[in-house]
Structure 1
Amino acid sequence: MIFSVIFRRVAVGVGLACGGLLSCQPRQSLTRATTEARPPAIANPVLPGDFPDPSATKIGDSYWASATSSNWGPVFPLLKSRDLASWQLVGYVFPDALPEWADYYFWAPEISQEGGKTYVYYAAHQKGGNLAIGVASADRPEGPYRDHGPLVGQPDGSIDPFPVRDEKGRLYLLWKEDGNSVQQPTPIWAQPMNEARTALTGEKTELFRNTAPWEGNLVEGVGVVRRAGYFYAFYAANGCCGASCTYAIGVARARRLLGPWEKCPRNPLLSTNAAWSCPGHGTALERNGHWYLLHHAYQTGSFENVGRQGVLSEFAWNADGWPAFLNQPPISPGTASPGRIQPVALADEFDQSTLALTWQWPVQHRPRLAVRNGQLYLTASPDAGGAALGRSISSANYTATTTLLNPAALPTGASAGLVAIGNPDNALAFTASNATLQLQERRVGKTRLLAEIPLPVAAAHAVQLRLQVRAGSSYGFAWSTDEGHTWANPLPHDGTLSGAHLPPWDQGVRVGLLAQGPATATVAFERFELLSE
């Protein structure tokens, strides 16, 4: 089944971070594009949910994008847009099998088009080794993609690839040496690459590294555009992730690709404001005479619970030839700084023959499943906390509901229900077995039973389960046997549980379905709804 989701959201745009709105350059010093008719204010995030390190390119009359998957499959989403603001999920680079050489940490895909082929360069953890950079290609941007294996993998790790041709047309690969992982500097390297994109050639050259105080212990996520005789490298620096992040965006430029490079004296050009925190790792794009950076940032109020969302920030070129980001005013005047999120309900009726594209799973624990006759059949697993399916969330406040069929018929040792999952080692789950309803916490790989009540007689054939989250990490659970008209709390009081331990350092939480127990057990679910508020 082809399942499409259009991403739209109403929120405050990202503004300048150089000491005040539009303080980097006065309005009259910006290029003519800023004085022409302004495009509509951008409704950010344009990619709501966990979409770190977004990259994009124009192919024909459409834009194509991808983003970090990290430890969630399918690997590397493929998104399509006509206007950079509304994106449709249409597939994945690796929808089924993983590349043979890699096992996890699928980071920072860079999508590009040349010579009638689409290329996706990416970083991943090499089996038995460290982080390395690979490349896959396809005859069409939607795939199928063929993986060509790793291009470079340094002892300290190699990440954040970006392909670019130099001033003479020679093809290079740029990347970051992951020195910060071993308390070392983080040089940005450039090395020639063959036209088949299967191997690096020649010698590598360092372009620049972290030297400015604001850059902290790293520079990374380089994306290059060429304009007016310069190569411009937009890059991220400092701490990328979590509530204590310090990420920001700077730019450097050079006449020749191999340098010398100069960093903008007003760096960082984009950093935390009232609505968005820790912007970083993006791609610069031009549309209708206006320039944008598609990058990620945390939305104030949700942070690591939702994850790093895709944000579109406009910039213009000043009289000195440097980019300057423009302030996007709130869409609704007077809106509070985090933005006003309109309730959005996404329901899956399981009425197609294949799983909807929005579902994900832990990349090393792909579950066995089937979809037919309006039901999802999920095969249980005794490992890694159970077989899990999850969906990315887009708000700090949301409600998830589903119906579990025939819990009384489950074999002994099997249970199934709703789950909020950070990774296989950290989750909160509300499940039913053939005898009880159970509330479980999984923390650092160990499962603990928090509450248990007998399975109500009325729930033998079907029970509705509900998970409600407020303020990102306050979790409440309930069950119903009358199609959701009345709800009961499995806890002996009306309190909530903290899920602050759920988000990994680089990912947001997923919410979805879980089946635990012997692999001979299969459970059936009807309808899953996720309401973001």
Structure 2
Amino acid sequence: MTVLHNPVIRGFAPDPSLVRVGAWYYVATSSFEWFPTIPVHRSRDLAHWEYAGHVRGAVPGGSLAGVPDSGGVWAPSLSWDGERFWVVYSVVRSVGTPYFDLDTYVATATEVDGEWSAPRRIASHGFDPALFHHEGRLWLLNMQSDHRPGGQRFAGIVLTELDRETLARVGDTHLLLRHERLIEGPKLVKRDGWFHLVLADGGTGVEHGVLVARSRAITGPYELDSQPLLTTRDDPSVPLQKAGHAELVETPDGEWVMSHLAARPLRTPDGPRCPLGRETAIQALTWDKAGWPRLRQGGWHPAVEVDVPTPPAEPGPRLADPDDPLGWPWSTPRGYADPGWADATARPGWIRLRGRHGPESRWAYSLLAQRITEHRAEAEVTVEARPRSFTQAAGLVLRYNSEAYLSLDLTWAEPEGEEQRGQQWRGEGRTVLSLVEREEFGTRRAAVVDVAAGAPLTLGVTVEDGRARFWYVREGVRAPVGPPLDFTRLSDDYGSKLRFTGSMAGVHAVDLVDSSFTADFTGFRLTCW
């Protein structure tokens, strides 16, 4: 037996899809507007996970430029047919509207870190697709969405058979189940003559849960279990909240486990907030006398510590390229890091970023960021740059999305007390650190500090108790910049809009005029504990 500690994949790692291939377990997670698309982790004991690669090429054209925050790649489902991996997912281009404007794609590969086939578009009833391989046939599960006025946006679960070679539809689509609660995330598993339909219900917030229905025939009718398999909606004190979006997998010894998403909230005066986003967890299952799946510890609340029926195992040989200075754990918004704006070769030991659009851009923003995985964290980096206008900036950023970030930037400002009169074109002005707080309802500058021009400068931020305290190193000592800022606003739970990702720490550069401005960064460190 092995004891795992949930979440097993920490930080922004939502909508986990679990599959076992031989002695290895693999999990694919949603990436939304971030690249690399569809990260995949692997483990031999369900407790210790490592990054194993991603589905390169998942987005046709290689760009999500223009997609809204929390759009992009939703809820991939990973499966194995005995010869190759399959992944099915939706690219969502509208969020918070009656139309999701999505396309659903399938790609395959013989190795998760290998070459994936070009994505092929298939029937796109709604998001949260899944594939079910059964007796040589291929079935597509979807939630369907009704965009019409008065229609249900979550209008039931549908099943369509696909031709395994062409992926064309075979026969009619079947409506398997509708429910008074919001249901999505369908997965199928067969056991003892029953097709078990595993569903996410209640939405992906604090009402989230897992329901199971079953049928003797794949096309139904399906009967619902009398109780949830998993939820925390009835108890806000459970450490793992928002539990749902599950997948059931059998171990080599005939035991069963379940992956699901969960979140670890911080308690604030404004209610619980989850700046780390939704994370990946694992539970052990059993089956009751009537043949329904149950949590092994009883009830329906997820456990933090779980005994799983696997021998302890060390991680295997690393699959990701450790020599790629811009590879994982770095992520970039809406496209891969491109040598045109991110260069790790121009100056050995440094990363050079070329400024492009500002941090609210959905098109061309020069940002490298890494997932924050604990509520206590610290990031620092040394930056060298010569901004000559207020249109140029570079620095350290904590980011959730284009409407939620905190940044400490090296930039230019007019001489103190003067208004803008074109001083930058006359060689006048000063170099400053500017601390900016952006949230859904506006932007404010929290502090400005004069610094020496041209010299390398170490910037940092410490996150603790829901507060972000920015600093820089002056004469070998950390000097605070501005007041503590509210880190919990960088969360799924703040504001009026749908949010599905998680907070990150990184470096960025901005040049709003001609992208001639560059900034060099070295020594980036993100520590989470």
Q: Normalization by structure 1: what TM-score?
A: 0.79
1-side partners of 2:487 and 2:148: how far apart? 28
1:468-525: per-residue Cα shift (whole Å, max 9, x none)?
22234x221111034xx4111122xxx3112444335211111111111241112111
Structure 2 residue aligned with 1:451: 447
Q: 1:371 aligns with which of 344, 353, 356?
A: 344
1:384, CA displacement in angstroms?
4.0
1:247, CA displacement in angstroms?
0.2
Percent sequence identity over aligned pairs: 25
**Aligned to 2:55, what secondary structure does the other structure show?**
strand
Residues 471 and 71 of structure 1: is their aligned pair in 2 closer, same or farther, counting only changes over 3 Å?
A: farther
Structure 2 residue aligned with 1:388: 367
Structure 2 residue aligned with 1:431: 409
1:382, CA displacement in angstroms?
2.9
Is 1:442 the equivalent of 2:438? yes
**Aligned to 1:354, what secondary structure does the other structure show?**
coil
Q: Structure 1 counterpart of 2:461, which letter?
A: L
- Which stretch shifts more, 354-363 or 310-319? 354-363
Residues 271 and 249 of structure 1: is their aligned pair in 2 closer, same or farther, counting only changes over 3 Å?
A: farther
Structure 1 residue aligned with 2:27: 65
**Mapped contact 2:11–2:278 kept (Cα < 8 A):** yes
1:120, CA displacement in angstroms?
0.7
1:33-57: per-residue Cα shift (whole Å, max 9, x none)?
xxxxxx2332111111111111121
Is 1:271 the equivalent of 2:232? yes
1-side partners of 2:500 and 2:327: how far apart? 24
Structure 1: state its 5+ residue gaps: 1-38, 333-349
Structure 2 residue aligned with 1:490: 481
Structure 2: state its 5+ residue gaps: 267-271, 307-320, 413-430, 493-498
Is 1:480 the equivalent of 2:480? no
**Mapped contact 1:81–1:87 kept (Cα < 8 A):** yes
Is 1:469 the equivalent of 2:463? yes
2-side partners of 1:257 and 1:398: how far apart? 47
**Aligned to 1:258, what secondary structure does the other structure show?**
coil
1-side partners of 2:148 and 2:436: how far apart? 34
**Aligned to 2:31, what secondary structure does the other structure show?**
coil
**Aligned to 2:118, what secondary structure does the other structure show?**
strand
Q: Structure 1 counterpart of 2:486, which letter?
A: S
Structure 2 residue aligned with 1:247: 208
1:325, CA displacement in angstroms?
0.3
1:446, CA displacement in angstroms?
6.0
Q: 2:141 aligns with which of 165, 169, 174?
A: 174
Is 1:322 the equivalent of 2:318? no
1-side partners of 2:273 and 2:38: how far apart? 22
2-side partners of 1:450 and 1:95: how far apart? 40
Q: Structure 1 counterpart of 2:523, which letter?
A: R
Is 1:523 the equivalent of 2:519? yes
Residues 197 and 119 of structure 1: is their aligned pair in 2 closer, same or farther, counting only changes over 3 Å?
A: farther
**Mapped contact 1:465–1:480 kept (Cα < 8 A):** yes
2-side partners of 1:97 and 1:219: how far apart? 26
Q: Normalization by structure 2: what TM-score?
A: 0.80
**Mapped contact 1:362–1:423 kept (Cα < 8 A):** no
Structure 1 residue aligned with 2:262: 297
Query: 1:7-156 residue pairs with structure 2 within 5 A?
Result: 39-94=1-56, 98-99=60-61, 104-114=71-81, 116-125=83-92, 130-154=101-125
Q: Compute the RMSD of aligned alpha carbons.
A: 2.8
Q: 1:420 aligns with which of 398, 405, 414?
A: 398
1:96, CA displacement in angstroms?
8.6
Q: 2:155 aligns with which of 165, 173, 186?
A: 186
Structure 1 residue aligned with 2:427: none
**Mapped contact 1:173–1:192 kept (Cα < 8 A):** yes
1:118, CA displacement in angstroms?
1.6
1:115, CA displacement in angstroms?
5.0
Residues 321 and 109 of structure 1: is their aligned pair in 2 closer, same or farther, counting only changes over 3 Å?
A: same
Q: Structure 2 counterpart of 1:247, which letter?
A: H
Is 1:229 the equivalent of 2:197? no
